[in-house]
Amino acid sequence: MELDSLAPGEFAPKTTYLNTASTGLLPARAVAAMNEAIAAAAAGRPTDMFGDVEAARAAYARLVGVPVRRVAAGASVAVYAGLVATSLPEGSEVLVAEADFSSVVNPFHVRRDLKVRTAPLESLAQAVRPGTALVAVSAVQSADGRIADLAAIREAARTHGARTLVDVSQGVGWYPVDAGAYDYTVTAGFKWLTGPRGVAFFTVPDDLGALTPVFAGWVAGERPWDSCYGPVEELAHSARRFDESPALFSYTGARHSLALLEELGIERVHAHNTALADRFRAGLAPLGYEPVAAPGSAIVSVPGLGHRQEELSRSGIELSDRAGNLRAAFHLYSSAQDVDRLLALLSPAR
């Protein structure tokens, strides 16, 4: 198994960077494209960055296996979770996982006329019941890397007539995602997709999911440039009706980040990342540490070590402290040497 960086010419971190679950590194090609676009805009010669939005949308559709017409382009997971929340009738029951990331659950809590019910991630499928309108869950938990049993959740939701909203922010880019298996999926683009902040993608069913595009602006029109004034006469016939006005420079970068992932292939990235995570788990055992059980995940969270995060950062290793846990996240620019350096610094004998 190759355990060196998968794209050494694209990334040159000055630290041992194991913090993709917070923010991914930008590849050189994305940085160059954004710099060129910014320079052109500053010189009064702006480029067609709307073309970058469409290229990024198409690349993301290919990564998650849905037609491009089912992909909306925006900037925020919370905005799209909020869009789904606004679509639910008063009194609807929404089932969420305990301690899931706030962006995917809070929009339902702030609607006081909804019934939000919480269950442990491991028993979420069993908690779906008649009358559940929606199950909202992250595919991979941000705090500790646990992977949801999405197949069981999907089947339970179908059995009881519930829709599904899956936040794939901590999965897509390293974990194979079939967005077509769920009613709605949403992701941030600045983590495992290695894009800039300001990029998010939202997928909907072919029937557009009975959603009302409550924040639709001119970009949501079937002919955007003819929709700049007054009410939009004709909304886009595709998921583009749910587009937010795009952060264009960010999408210029995202286009190139997604191209790199397509070139490498998600299967290859998945194998690389999980091999490194397994190496880290195996190395923790002799040191007397037991990570949160998250088999198959590229995220490893170690209870009781969160207080070491600042010290490790001063030593040139970037990780996260989440609820007292030390969280390491291994991605395509990580290497076996990165794992071994972290393990050496965590050794009690040091």
pLDDT of residue 127: 98
Which residue carries 């990342």 as its tokens? 273
Domains, the chain, ranges and CATH?
Answer: 16-26+265-346 (3.90.1150.10), 32-263 (3.40.640.10)
Which residues, at least 6 apart from 171, have a Cβ–Cβ distance to it below 8 Å? 139, 140, 147, 177, 192
pLDDT computed for residue 215 by the predictor: 95
Confidence (pLDDT) at 323: 85
What single-letter amino acid sits at 329? Answer: A
d(Cα 87, Cα 183) in Å, to the nearest integer? 13
Specify the 3-state DSSP secondary structure of 162: coil
pLDDT value of residue 160:
98
Angle at alpha carbon of residue 296, lines to 293 and 297, rounded to 5°: 75
304: left (phi over 0), alpha (psi -120 to 50) or beta: left
Q: Which residues contact 252 (CB under 8 A, 6 or more apart)?
A: 33, 34, 37, 47, 49, 52
Contact 96, 132 (CB under 8 A): no
| Count of C-beta atoms within a 10 Å radius of residue 130 | 9
Beta carbons of 10 and 269 less than 8 angstroms apart: no
How far apart, in whole angstroms, are the C-alpha atoms of residue 235 and residue 219?
9
DSSP labels, 240-290: GGGPPPP-HHHHHHHHHHHHHHHHH-HHHHHHHHHHHHHHHHHHHGGGT--
Which is nearest to 99 in space by CA: 148, 37, 132? 148
- Kindly give the confidence (pLDDT) of every residue in the chain, 350 residues in length, as a single tens digit, with 9 standing for 90 and above: 457 889 989 998 999 999 999 999 999 999 999 999 999 999 999 888 999 999 999 999 999 999 999 999 999 999 999 999 999 999 999 999 999 999 999 999 999 999 999 999 999 999 999 999 999 999 999 999 999 999 999 999 999 999 999 999 999 999 999 999 999 999 999 999 999 999 999 999 999 999 999 999 999 999 999 999 999 999 999 999 999 999 999 999 999 999 999 999 999 999 999 999 999 999 999 999 999 999 999 999 999 999 999 999 999 999 999 989 999 999 999 999 999 999 999 998 55
pTM of the model: 0.96
d(CA 335, CA 34): 27
DSSP for 30-52 reads HHHHHHHHHHHHHTT----HHHH
